[in-house]
């Protein structure tokens, strides 16, 4: 687990550095992004008792991954080594005991903690991850995939507004899930494989070679 956590923390650092060179010192309000994403997650899961709603579990899981991106970012501190942050996460989640919380309850607990402490709780996130039907392996593969997609978007004009997010009638997130499925998540070049797959399909469906 620790090596996978180190990999994800390193990837998050690279992505955040792409946005702002001194992002850790800027002390952005990651907690705010976390609770807002929690609200979006509940929208996908459903909360309206006065009408029929079917949970969109795939979208719920995508929101969980987005929350993890912001959560990892919130754990960085000036001067803290990535290895130490990974060790802290591992210790907290290994001490975590599932309490059987459902998706709504786990989401609200994470959002409440974020608002009250202006920080991120790996253990509360773990409760949400499990409630949403994810395990650490699926979290890792989905995180790497989304992180690579974020880089791919930046490389193809996302900031400039020229990136096309809808490919042949489907969002890039949907293509990502399909492209990652047959890949070996344990491969050393897993992230490179994901980028290459995205690039191939983007060229095929959106841009010229």
Same domain membership, residue 97 and residue 62: yes
Q: Are residues 126 and 169 in the same domain?
A: no
Tens of pLDDT, residues 49-84: 999 889 999 889 989 999 999 999 999 987 789 999
Q: What is the pLDDT of residue 208?
A: 60
Average pLDDT on 135-139 reads 91
- Look at residue 171 and give its three-state secondary structure: strand
Do 145 and 123 belong together in one domain? no
pLDDT of residue 209: 52
In this predicted structure, what is the pLDDT of residue 143? Answer: 92
Last residue of one domain, picked from the residues 103, 134, 165: 134
Range of the domain at 30: 2-134
State the chain's mean pLDDT as an integer. 91
Please tell me whether residues 157 and 186 are part of one structural domain: yes
pLDDT in tens, 19-50: 888 999 888 999 999 999 999 999 999 999 99
- pLDDT at res. 189: 87
């Amino acid at each position: 687990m620790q090596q996978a956590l180190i990999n994800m923390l390193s990837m998050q650092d690279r992505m955040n550095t792409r946005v702002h060179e001194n992002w850790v010192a800027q002390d952005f309000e990651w907690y705010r992004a976390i609770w807002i994403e929690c609200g979006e997650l509940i929208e996908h899961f459903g909360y309206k008792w006065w009408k029929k709603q079917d949970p969109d579990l795939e979208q719920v899981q995508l929101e969980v991954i987005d929350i993890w991106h912001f959560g990892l970012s919130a754990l960085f501190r000036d001067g803290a080594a990535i290895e130490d942050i990974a060790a802290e996460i591992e210790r907290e989640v290994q001490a975590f005991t599932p309490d059987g919380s459902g998706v709504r309850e786990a989401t609200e607990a994470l959002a409440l903690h974020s608002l009250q402490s202006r920080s991120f709780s790996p253990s509360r996130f773990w409760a949400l991850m499990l409630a949403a039907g994810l395990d650490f392996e699926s979290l890792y593969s989905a995180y790497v995939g989304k992180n690579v997609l974020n880089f791919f978007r930046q490389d193809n004009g996302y900031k400039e507004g020229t990136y096309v997010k809808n490919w042949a009638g489907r969002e890039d997130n949907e293509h990502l899930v399909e492209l990652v499925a047959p890949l070996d998540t344990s491969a050393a070049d897993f992230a490179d494989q994901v980028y290459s797959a995205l690039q191939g399909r983007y060229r095929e469906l959106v841009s010229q070679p």
